[in-house]
Chain A
Amino acid sequence: MSAFSRLRLDGVSRRFGGQAALTELDLTIEAGEFIALLGPSGCGKSTALNCLAGLLPLTAGSIWQDERRIDTLPPERRGFGMVFQSYALFPHLTVRANIAFGLRMRRLPKEETRRRTAEALRLVRLEEHVDKLPGQLSGGQQQRVAIARAVVFEPSLVLMDEPLSNLDAKLRLEMRTEIRRLHQSLGLTTVYVTHDQEEALSLADRLVVLREGRVQQVGSPRELHTRPANWHVADFMGYRNLWRGRVTRVDDAVVTAESAGQRLLGEAVGDLRTGAEAVLAVRPEDIRVDGAGETRNALSATVEVVEYQGRELAAEARTDTGLLLHLRTERRIAPGDQVKLAVDPRRLLVYPDGPAHRPEDQGATR
C-alpha cells in the first residue's frame, strides 16, 4: 500500500497453455516515472500490465517493491490503481460512489472519503455529474471517472490499459493532455499500455517496446524516435520506408548499402559487414523532395499516389529501378510528376537483417 522508491520486475514471464505471451521482462520503475509499454496487438503489453496488477499470476519471475516481493499478493493487497480499456465503471453506482469505492474499501473515515472524492471530482472536472450513473455519461466523461477512481486513493502505482482507445480522435488528444496534466500535478508513478506510438512518445518519460512477448528496446522518447534498436522497432516508430538490401561498404558507422539497384549511404545500427543482408529505414518526413543538386543519396522517382493531409502531402513515389518510397512534403506534387529526392545519410538507418539477426538477439539497451 505504501509508496515505494523502486519497483523491479525480474524475469517476469507468462505462458498461456504452450504459448508464451511474455518472456522474461526485466524492468525497473523509479517512483514518479511515467512508463509506456508499447507494441502491436499481441505483443504481451497487456499481459505485463495484468501481471503487475495481480490479475494474472506469473509463470516465472518475480516483482519486487523495494525489498518486498509482491507478485504473490492478490490484486486487492497491492494497492495499485488501474484504468481499464472498457473503463469498467460500476454501472449501479453513481459517479460519486464509483470514485469513492477505493476509499470505502480502505475503510477511511466518512469525512475524509467525502473530502477526497470531492477533490478527485474537481480534478477531473465532473462536479456537476456527481449523482449520475455511468450509463448517463459520454465516453470521455466515463474515462475521467475511471481515472479519478484509480487515482483517488493515491496508489503507489497507476496502471492504464489503453485508456484512450475507445475515444474518438479529438477526445483522445484532449484526454492525453489531461492524463499528462494529472501525472504532473499528482506525480503518480504510472505504467501506461498503448499501441499508439504517438501517444506513448507524448506521454511517457520512458518507453518499453515489446514484440512477441519480448522487450525490444527501453529508452527515452527521443532515443526511440531517433534511434530504434532494430528494424522492427523502427517499423513501429514510424519508419515507413523499410528497404531490404545488401551492404557494399563499411566505413566505421557509415555504411553503403544497395537496395533495388540504388546505392545509399546511411548510419549503421548494429553490427554490419560488407556483403551482409540489411534493412534500410527512413521516415517519410526525412525524404526531401527538392533534392536537385544533392550528390549523396539522390534519387529520381515518379510520383504515384498523393494524399492530401492539410499542410503536407503524403505521397508514394517509385524510382526507375523499382524502389518504392513513402514521403511527406509541403511541395505541391501530383501523380506522374518526376521528382528529385534526397535523404540525409544521418537520417537513414541501416540494420542487420536475416535469421541470425532476430531482434531479441541484439540485446535490448537499458
Chain B
Amino acid sequence: MSGAGPDRPLAHWRHRLAERGVDRQLWLLVPALVFVVALFVYPFCYGLTLSFQPTNGGPFSDYARFFSDAYERGTIWITLRIALPAALLNVLAAVPIAYRMRGRFRGKRLVTTVLVVPITLGTVLTAQGLLNFLGPTGWFNRILLATHLVDEPVRLTHNYWGVFFSLVITGFPFAFLLVLSYLSGIDPTLERAAATLGADWRRRFTQVTLPLLMPGLATTFCLTFVLAFSVFPSAVLVGNPAGETRVISLAAYQAAYERYDYPYASAIAMIMGFVELVIIAVVLAARSRFYTGSTGGKG
C-alpha cells in the first residue's frame, strides 16, 4: 500500500475524466479531425478572409457589389426557385414510397436497388439521358407528337425544367433512403395500437406516423436542399446558364475562373453558405417543435 500514495490523485483524475468521456478512445477521433480541419475548416477560413480582401475597395465592397448588381443578386432567387421545390418534391415523393416499403416483402431488395440506382449515375450521365429523353427530338416529345397531344415539341431541357428534373433524379434516392431509415425507426406496433383504438389508415398516418416522422423529414429536406442548392453541372448541361438557370454557384464559378477575381468569388461562396444556413435554421427551428425523442423502433 505504500506505493499507492502518490498514484492516488492521478488515478482519481483519470476516473473523473473517464466519467466525462475523456479517455484513450478519444485518439480514434484524430483522423476525422485532421480531415475536417484540412478539408473544411482551413479552406473555409481562407475563403472567408479572402472575401474581405477585395482587389479594390473596403473589406465589404465585394459583398456590396454582389447585392447592388441585380443580375448577380438574382442568382440567389433563381437558385432557391430551383432548389426549394426540388428538395420538397424529393421528400414528399419519398414518403409514400418509403411508407409502402416498410417491413419485409418479396422483392424489396430489387425495388430498393432500382430506386437507388440514380445515385450511381452521376450528373453528367443523367443530363445526357435527360437530353435524349426529354429533348425536342427525344422519345417523350416524339410520343406526344405522334399521339397528337401537342403540335410542337414541349421544351423541357435547356431551361428551368431540365435542371429541376435532373435534381429530382439525383436527389430522390438520397431522400428515399433517409426517409426509409427514419420510417423503419418507428415501432410498427404504434400503428397497430392506433388501429385498435379506431383510427383508419389515414388517421394512423396523420396522427401517429407523420408526427413521429416529421423531424426525420426536416433533416432529409435540409440534406437534399443543400445538395440541390449547390447545383452546378446540370445547370450548365440541361439548363440555360445564361438566363433562367444562372444559379449562384455558376456566378461564383464565373468570378473565379473567367474573371479570376478570387476575393469576389469567395464573397459569393460565403453568401451562398449563408443563404443555406438561413434555410436550414428555419427548417430546424420548425423541427424542434415536433417530438424528437425515441420512437421505439429498431432505428
Contact = CB atoms under 8 A, between A and B. Distances in A.
Task: Report if A and B associate in a common complex.
Answer: yes
Interface of A: 53-55, 74-76, 78-82, 84, 86, 88-92, 101-102, 105-106, 133, 135, 149-150, 153, 159
A149 B193 CA distance: 10
Nearest to B197: A102
Contacts of A84: 189, 192-193
Contacts of B193: 82, 84, 88-90
Interface stretch (B111-119, B133-141, B166-174, B288-296): B288-296
Contacts, number: 75
A91 B296 contact: yes
B194 interface: yes
29 contacts: A53-B196, A54-B196, A55-B192, A55-B196, A74-B195, A74-B200, A75-B195, A75-B196, A76-B197, A76-B198, A76-B199, A76-B200, A79-B198, A84-B192, A84-B193, A86-B187, A88-B187, A90-B194, A91-B190, A91-B212, A91-B291, A91-B295, A92-B211, A92-B290, A105-B197, A105-B198, A133-B291, A150-B197, A153-B197
Contact of B293 (A54, A82, A88, A135): A135
A90 B293 CA distance: 11
A51 to B, nearest CB: 13
Contacts of A149: 197
Given A135-B293, A135-B294, A82 B189 contact: no
B16 interface: no
Given A90-B208, A133-B291, A75 B192 contact: yes
A76 B196 contact: yes
Contacts of B294: 91, 135
Contacts of B298: none
Contacts of A106: 198
A55 B189 CA distance: 10
A91 B297 CA distance: 11
Contacts of B196: 53-55, 75-76, 78, 80-82, 150, 159
A152 to B, nearest CB: 9
A102 B195 contact: no
A79 B294 CA distance: 28
B195 A55 contact: yes
A192 B296 CA distance: 24
A73 to B, nearest CB: 11
A84 B193 CA distance: 8
Interface of B: 187, 189-190, 192-200, 203, 207-208, 211-212, 290-291, 293-296
Contacts of A91: 190, 212, 291, 293-296
A74 B202 CA distance: 13
Contacts of B291: 91-92, 133
Contacts of A150: 196-197
A55 to B, nearest CB: 5
B125 to A, nearest CB: 42
A82 B193 CA distance: 7
B24 to A, nearest CB: 33
B195 to A, nearest CB: 4
A88 B187 CA distance: 8
Given A74-B200, A84-B189, A133-B293, 13 more contacts: A54-B195, A75-B192, A75-B196, A82-B196, A88-B192, A88-B296, A91-B291, A91-B295, A91-B296, A92-B212, A92-B290, A105-B194, A105-B197
Contacts of B189: 84, 86, 88
A159 B291 CA distance: 29
A321 B150 CA distance: 98
Given A91-B294, A91-B296, A102 B192 contact: no
Contacts of A89: 193
A92 B213 CA distance: 11
A88 B200 CA distance: 17
A275 B190 CA distance: 56
Contacts of A54: 195-196
A105 B293 contact: no
Nearest to B212: A92
Contacts of B211: 92
B65 to A, nearest CB: 48
B218 to A, nearest CB: 14
A88 B190 contact: yes
A343 to B, nearest CB: 47
A116 to B, nearest CB: 13
A53 B189 CA distance: 13
B195 A76 contact: yes
Contacts of A78: 196
A143 to B, nearest CB: 14
A203 B197 CA distance: 24
Contacts of A75: 192, 195-196
Contacts of A86: 187, 189, 296
Contacts of A105: 194, 197-199, 203
- Most B CB contacts (10 A, CB to CB) among A55, A80, A88, A89 go to A88
